[in-house]
Structure 1
């Protein structure tokens, strides 16, 4: 495998990284200040609106009543257009010829060199073909024709159940690490068809590298505003690249091992790497004819993206879910009743139950909405365009404030309350809301959306079928105020876990009213919430 060569000294950044993104470098400072962008709040010299941005998405949302759904702030002297409404975001991001580019970051462009999914950008020309190719593989693996994938996910869920039983043992504990290890194993299963023990040193190191990388990534924006910080030895951006380098090497070793276990021509169609390499092998006699993205170096960057984008988002979503369910026992009892009405005496919930459990899907949707897990998405326009009387220059920064879209009182009833039923119609069927867009818009939206929904569904439904989660101390509920950064994640908390070992004893066939379920079976009435009505026949 070709070694990935680094062409620069981490502690002695080339001057090209000191250029400002999103503007013509030949323009003077005064000319840049006269960019035709929407008006916004007063900014201070040199630092712009950075002091307000310490409160991130909340600060941006506080400006909406005065400046409207679109306004401009300044990060240093870089103009940033902020979009705060779903309607305007949809209008802009779904234009196929306008927002196909992530926010400009020269230092990241140099590192990724157009490789991977996040690193691929408009000028390299192949990002659309690569995205389509990767999307097709994911769709194939998660489709009904690949039962082996679901079997492996169920095996991982069964291991998680054992892990929870071992850790709980009658005591409250923090479930986050178990969720992170499971989410990472889901990606291992998807990519190379195998899983790792939660105590495996290699597996733990990968998860730690992912955490460290994401922690360092939030400082990339600061380096764009104050590029001189890149000259400081040991700066956070250099640390980020060091973590990514280590992850690259570890993934490369796994690919080497994979080739040894599953050589070309072998059984390589049950996982992502196998299907990717199978396509590569079509061009082994004449590699020059292969698409630019079909090489092992790019494959490793794609795998990096899978882990960086998938592990923390999946585990944090579930961490939020169990926090809200522990704080709201009546909702949890209702969810359990719903699961039992469909899965009954079966040992597990399957993907075939996905469409039969609307309340479980509503739980996930409401959690994504109320937490605004990824509060802000950054993009840039690939060409100059007219917007509301303003001539927006090419490469301008845009921030799409999904936090405000999820908390907009004109769109959502009691937006700060946890109400899963808002995503159900009067008959209990799942009701889609056009204002619900946690995975973004347009061609740069989350590639793994469908896969993530299925993984979270399987994990949540199977854990709720097996366990009841409650708060450590009912007189002191854990907070729902998040730790903020690139994502809004829960503050650490502990839960008590009760194994649902009591057998169902009622001879009557019951089902809950207000939910559209497709089967009835014996249920223990004592497990039902007092606010769920039963329809029973004896």
Structure 2
């Protein structure tokens, strides 16, 4: 079953909240129910609620299909999730992620991106693939210990499978969004449409090949990347007889989480960024003028310039709010919980509409307008309200937030310093409405990059 209008799912969920309020229950086939939470107050409350804010819906650890086990970081809960989150944060910091020393590594990758864009010679091009290549290579360098050439067939396959895993254009994928556990069982029925499940499995198989290669070339005295450190720590704990959730199957799931989450959300934000600069050329011009006045034309922007670029920071905040890429995340009630004016029964699955929190009229004046000035005070200094929760909130806030913020600032400012982005065709109407998937994306568009 193909969805002709991909906005239907997002519109359906948002229309339910308008009709029934910020908390409503959707009855689904086979006795499934989904509690939908919308609006800033309810979403923030859910994300920080001790009884529901930390857990995902349960999966069967005994199931032979890894997709049904709740492995890794994104879909795990409890001690399993805590150990992997703590370990991963430690490893990422050890490799410099979140520190200014990591800036040069990101800037080097963006230099490859700018070279590719410059090669278009001002002719129309679709930026999705190039932005995805650059962002993915940053996380690949940390997790896999290597970057890929943009025309590498292996890299192209990885990114293709990534794109398909997050699509929301057939029945199975929509069922997964609304009934995650049950739909995964449906996908195992012979001849049942596989949707994005086959892409998940293809991606997982390729990542296993990468892990196998690391095992063959492993050197305990030379930790090249996240995989090496994981293998070393897993062996250490096994030798000591220490109880741990670190395992081969978990490693494959964790690096899949890193690859998917570390690529798609950041590259999508940058796609929105270019789209908005084309749509609002006055904003683009003002950003470029501010960067030029602080940085000049002889060097590229650096993180140390950030405090002197308040308008540029405000524009980035507004890009993230207006083009909020995360549509929904799932939570699970471990026990009966009082939530706002409701009692949520134990075992309830909650769908948290994070996108609605970024468009809540009770929080954001003219929420459907692109207004970077909302993030500036009366002195022209940047401010970020606590309601700006594009990376989530609570203990399950995005693990890669620091890396994502670094990448977005460096990539956006470098592109604004080097190019002016324009419509591919004068008079072209640009569609700003996001396409719903597991990550909200802009409709495909072409642009021309003019070297400044």
Under a length normalisation based on structure 2, what TM-score does the superposition of the two structures give? 0.88
Q: Distance in 2 between matches of 1:427 and 1:275?
A: 47
1:327 matched to 2:284? The reply is no
Report matched runs for 1:95-106 at 5 Å: 95-104=49-58
Partner of 1:299: 251
Tell me which of 225, 229, 251 is aligned to 2:207: 251
Matched ranges for 1:260-299 at <5 A: 263-266=219-222, 268=223, 271-283=225-237, 286=239, 288-289=241-242, 291-293=244-246, 295-299=247-251
- Distance in 2 separating the partners of 1:495 and 1:485: 23
Q: Is the 8 A contact 2:175 2:183 kept in 1?
A: no
Give per-residue Cα distances to partners, 1:510-531, cap 9 Å, x unaligned.
Answer: xxxxxxxxxxxxxxxxxxxxxx
Which whole-Å CA distance do the structure 2 matches of 1:227 and 1:318 have between them? 31
2:421–2:448 CA contact under 8 A, matched in 1: yes
- Deviation, structure 1 residue 116: 1.1
Task: Indicate yes or no: 2:316 matched with 1:360.
Answer: no
Change (3 A) 1:261 1:153: farther
Written as runs of structure 1 = structure 2, the 5 A alignment for 1:450-469 is 450-469=402-421
Say whether the 8 Å CA contact 2:61–2:70 is kept in structure 1. Answer: no
- SS of the aligned residue for 1:429 comes to coil
Q: 1:189, CA displacement in angstroms? A: 1.3
CA distance in 2, matches of 1:120, 1:130: 9
Q: Is structure 2 residue 36 aligned with structure 1 residue 82?
A: yes
1:485-513 deviations in Å (ceiling 9; x for gaps): 2222111111011001xxxxxxxxxxxxx
Cα-to-partner distance string for 1:199-224 (whole Å, 9 max, x where unaligned): 01111111111112222754424675
Aligned to 2:117: 164
- State the alpha-carbon separation in 1 of the partners of residues 95 and 277 from structure 2: 31
> Are the aligned partners of 2:126 and 2:445 in contact in 1 as well (CA < 8 Å)?
yes
Which ranges in structure 1 are unaligned for 5 or more consecutive residues? Answer: 1-51, 501-538
Q: Judging changes above 3 Å, is the alpha-carbon distance between structure 1 residues 108 and 121 closer, same or farther for their aligned structure 2 residues? A: farther
Give the conservation status (yes or no) of the 8 Å contact 1:375–1:402: yes
Equivalents in 2 of 1:415, 1:74: separation in Å?
A: 30
Q: 1:279 to 1:108 in 2, by over 3 A?
A: closer
1:58 aligns to what? Answer: 11
- Residues 468 and 145 (structure 1), Cα distance of their counterparts in 2 relative to 1, 3 Å cut: closer
1:363 counterpart SS class: helix
Structure with more contact order per residue of length (Cα contacts < 8 Å, sep ≥ 6): 2
Alignment of 1:146-295 (within 5 A): 147=101, 149-166=102-119, 168-215=120-167, 217-220=173-176, 221=178, 229-230=186-187, 232-236=189-193, 238=194, 240-259=196-215, 263-266=219-222, 268=223, 271-283=225-237, 286=239, 288-289=241-242, 291-293=244-246, 295=247
Task: Give the one of 461, 484, 488 matched to 2:440.
Answer: 488
Q: Give the whole-Å Cα distance in 2 for the aligned partners of 1:442 and 1:288.
A: 33
Instruction: Name the structure 1 match of 2:359.
Output: 407
C-alpha distance after superposition, 1:406-461 (max 9, x if no partner): 22222211111111111121222221112211122222222111111111111111
Classify the secondary structure of the residue corresponding to 1:443.
helix
Mapping of 1:326-345 within 5 angstroms? 326-345=278-297
Kindly indicate whether the alpha-carbon contact (under 8 Å) linking 1:96 and 1:442 is maintained by their aligned counterparts in 2.
no
Task: Tell me, yes or no, if structure 1 residue 136 matches structure 2 residue 93.
Answer: no
Q: How many correspondences in the alignment?
A: 441
CA RMSD after TM alignment? 2.9
Distance 1:60 1:222 in 2: 14
- Structure 2 gaps, min length 5: none
Q: 1:229 to 1:245 in 2, by over 3 A?
A: closer
Q: Within 2, Cα distance between the matches of 1:306 and 1:485? A: 18
Note closer, same or farther for the CA distance 1:276–1:478 as it changes in structure 2 (3 Å cut).
Answer: same
Q: 1:459-538 maps to which residues of 2 (within 5 A)?
A: 459-500=411-452
Contact between 1:57 and 1:376, CA under 8 Å: does it hold in 2? Answer: no
Query: 1 CA distance for matches of 2:42 and 2:62?
Result: 28
